[in-house]
Structure 1
Amino acid sequence: MSASPLLVDVVVLGANGAFGRTLAGLLHAGGHRVTGVDLAPAAVEQAPLARYVAGDATSPSAQVRESLSRADVVLASLHEDVALASLGAVLPALKPGALFVDTLSIKSPLAARVASARDDVEQLGLNPLFGPSVGFTGQNVAAVSARRGPRTDAMLALVESWGARVTVLSPEEHDRAMAAIQVATHAALVSFGAALHGLGFRVEALRQLTTPPHRLMLAALARLVTGNPEVYWEIQHSNPFAPEARRALQDGVERVRDVTAAGDVEAWRGLLGDCRQALGSEAEAFAALCAELFRRV
C-alpha cells in the first residue's frame, strides 16, 4: 500500500508507548516512512519503524531535530505535561506546511500554544475514544482542527480508512463534550468503586448475587483501575470544564438522596424523566444495546 504523498515522512514522538506503537504500526502498514522517537535506548521489540532515534522530545538532540525538520507529519503521542513541555523545542524545528498532530484528551491548552507559536504549520488534535488494545475499527475518534490544510485532510481521511468514525470539533466544543463523556463517566465509576470500598463490598464473596447492571459497572470499573492512572488523571485534572461536570454529577446524587428522603414518588418519576430526556431520540437504541450486553454478562 502506498502512502499519500502529503504524509510520507512521519515522526512519532512517544513511539514506545501503547498508542504510539499502535499508530506507528498502522502508518507503517500504509506505506509511510515512520521514525520513532522515545527516551529508551532502543525501540520496543518488533516496533514497526523505518528508523528509531533515542531522544527527549522536550530537549531534542541534533538527530531528533533533523528528523523533525524533514517530517511531513509529527505525531506527538505523549502525556499532557510532556507534550506541552515539548512544544518550545519541537515546533521551531518543523518545516513550513508540516502537520503537527497530538493525541491528548484535552485540546484547548495545546491548541492555543501551537497557534501562537507557529502560523505556518497545520495543526490537528486526535482523541481516540478507546484504549489502544481495542483498535480503530468501528470506534469513535474526536478530531480538533485548529489550523486545517491539505495534510490535515489527508490525515483525517487516513484515520477514517482505518475504520474509525471521525467527528471534527473546535477545541472548546471538544473539551465541553469530553467533560460529559469522559470526566463525568470516569468520576461516576471512581465514586462507585469508592462506595463499594466504603461499604466493605468484596466481589469474590458476593459475585453469585450480582445483577447484570452491577456486573457491567464492575467491568467498567475494572478496566479503569487496571489502566494507566495518568490518563484518567489528565482527564479529571486538566479539562477546563471538569469542575462543572463533577458538580453536575454531585447534584444528581443529591437529587436522588432528597427525593428518596422525602418519599416523593412523583419527584422520582420526574428525575427519571430528566434522565430519559438526556438520552433524547437514542433512548430506545441504547435500551436495546443494554439488553444485548445483559445477555452477554
Structure 2
Amino acid sequence: MTTVPYPSERHAIVVGAAGSIGRMLCEQLSASGLHVLGVDLATIQAPQGYDVMQGDVCAPSPLLCQRLATAHLLVLALSEKVLLQALPGLLPHLALDCLLVETLSIKNTFATLIRDVSLPQAVAGLNPMFSGDLPPEGRPVVVVPYQPDAALDDLCERLESRGMRLFTLTAQQHDHAMALLQTVGHSMVLAFGHTLAASGVPLAQLIELGPPPFKVMLCLLARMMTNHPDVYWEIQAGNPASATARENAFAQLQRLDIHARNDAHVEFLAAMASLRNHLEPAQPQLAASCRQLFEVIQAYAPGPMGEGAGLSSHRDRIDRIDDQLIDLIAQRLDIIREVAGSKKGSSTAVMQPERVRQVVSRCTKRGRTLNVPAELIEQLYHAIIEQSCQIEYDVVGGPRQTLLDVTPEVFSQTGVR
C-alpha cells in the first residue's frame, strides 16, 4: 500500500464513524493523506490518525456545519432510514466541490432521489463487499457513480492505493448483483439458524457432533449476529430484486423436496451434474479452498463448550494447524515460481524493496490485531521472502542479493541476521 501524493489540505468527514464500515473508511482515507473527521452519535474512543466529533447529523451543531462547509468529501456510512433523515439538514452546508458518498447496501432508493433532486455536487455510492473489521487489502469495493467528476477519480485512486479492488456498477446492476451475492446466502443462513433453534436440540450437542459443513454454516450465522439487524433487513426488504431471489431459492428447495419424496434419484443425479458443470472451471480450486476452510474450522473447534480439553486434544489441534501452515507455505512458493516466470519474461528485477516493505508492514499490522509479536512476523517473513527470492534467482538468473543487503531497515527490530 502507498500514500497518494495529493495536496494535504483536503478534508473529509465520515458520518457513522463508530460503525465498522465508517471506522474502516476513516482509517483508510486518513492513511491515504486526507484530513479526516469522524462523526457519530455514539462516543468514539480517540483513534490514531484522524479527529472525531460526537454529534447528531439529523440536527447538526453549528460546529459541525462549519466543518461541513470546508469538506471536500462527505461519506455517509449510515442506514438508509437515518441517511434520508439527515440529508436535508446537511446538503445546504456543503461546498459545491464536495463529493457526497453513501455506503448503503441497496442503491435503488438513493438513485431515485438523486435523479429527482438536482444536486450541484458530485455524488457516488460505495459498497465494501466485506465487514469493516477485516483488512481491506485485496478485497472488492463496488463504486456507483451517480454524478461523477474528478473528485470521484481522486477517491477511487486513494482506495486503490490502500489495496482495495474497485468495480464500477450502475445502481440497478448493483442491486441485482447483491440479490445473488447477499440476499440468497443471508436468507439461507437465517433459515438454517431458525431451524436449529426450533429443533429443541441443545446447541452444545450439535456443535460437538457437527461435521465441517454444519460448523461453517454455524460460524456464518454467528458472524451475522455480530452486525446490526438493520444491515440484513435492508438487504432483504429494501432491494427490489430480493423477493425474486428468495422465490428462486425457495423453488430450488421445493424441487429437492419433490425429488426426495418421490424417490426421483435419476432427476437428483441430473441436477447434481448440472451444478457440477455450472461450477467449471472454478470447481477444483473452490473445492480445495473448502478443504482448507474445513481444516481451520476443525482446528479451532472447542471441546465440550471449551471444557475438559486434555493435552492430547490440544496437541491434535496444533498438529492440524501446523499441517495448514505447511500447505499454505507450499502454495505461496508455487505462486512465487509463477511470478519468477513472469519476471523473466518481462525482464523485471528479482529484488523489489518497496514490495518487501509493503508485505512485512501489512503482515505486522495484521499480526498486531491478533496479538502476534512483530518480532515473530518479521523473522518468519525474512525466511519466507529470502527463500522466495532464491527461487526467483534460480529462474531469472543474475547476481544474487540478500534481503539484509537491500532492505536492512525492514528487519532491524528483530535481530535477524
Q: Considering fraction of residues, name the structure with more strand.
A: 1
Where do residues 157-236 of structure 1 align in structure 2 (5 Å cutoff)? 157-236=157-236
Change (3 A) 1:182 1:165: same
Q: Give 1:237 deviation, angstroms.
A: 1.6
Deviations 1:62-118 (A, max 9, x none): 322222121110011111210122222222322223211111111111122134334
Q: 1:19 aligned to 18, 21, 28, which one?
A: 21
Where do residues 1-297 of structure 1 align in structure 2 (5 Å cutoff)? 1=3, 4-5=6-7, 8-40=10-42, 43-48=43-48, 50-297=50-297
SS at match of 2:281: helix
State whether residues 183 and 235 of structure 1, in contact with CA within 8 Å, keep that contact through their aligned partners in structure 2: yes
Letter of the 1:14 partner, please give it: G
State whether residues 9 and 71 of structure 1, in contact with CA within 8 Å, keep that contact through their aligned partners in structure 2: yes
Q: Give 1:138 deviation, angstroms.
A: 2.2
State whether residues 34 and 51 of structure 1, in contact with CA within 8 Å, keep that contact through their aligned partners in structure 2: yes
State whether residues 15 and 76 of structure 2, in contact with CA within 8 Å, keep that contact through their aligned partners in structure 1: yes
User: Matched residues in 1 for 2:295 and 2:242: separation?
Assistant: 34
Q: Give 1:190 deviation, angstroms.
A: 0.4
State whether residues 6 and 154 of structure 1, in contact with CA within 8 Å, keep that contact through their aligned partners in structure 2: no
Change (3 A) 1:166 1:50: closer
User: Matched residues in 1 for 2:135 and 2:152: separation?
Assistant: 21
Structure 2: 5+ residue stretches without partners: 298-417
SS at match of 1:281: coil
Aligned equivalent of 2:372: none
TM-score, normalised relative to structure 1: 0.91
Q: Give 1:206 deviation, angstroms.
A: 3.3
Question: Which one is further off, 211-220 or 283-292?
Answer: 283-292
Deviations 1:45-71 (A, max 9, x none): 222465444332223233222221211
SS at match of 1:125: strand
User: Matched residues in 2 for 1:196 and 1:7: separation?
Assistant: 54
CA RMSD, 1 decimal: 2.1
Change (3 A) 1:108 1:29: same
Q: Give 1:242 deviation, angstroms.
A: 1.1
Aligned-pair identity in percent equals: 32
SS at match of 1:20: helix
Letter of the 1:9 partner, please give it: H
Aligned equivalent of 2:352: none
- Tell which has more relative contact order, 1 or 2 (C-alpha 8 A, sep 6+): 1
State whether residues 87 and 114 of structure 1, in contact with CA within 8 Å, keep that contact through their aligned partners in structure 2: no
User: Matched residues in 1 for 2:212 and 2:11: separation?
Assistant: 48
TM-score, normalised relative to structure 2: 0.66
Deviations 1:176-206 (A, max 9, x none): 1001111110000000111112222333113
SS at match of 2:45: coil
User: Matched residues in 1 for 2:194 and 2:183: separation?
Assistant: 16
Letter of the 1:143 partner, please give it: V
Question: Which one is further off, 116-125 or 166-175?
Answer: 116-125
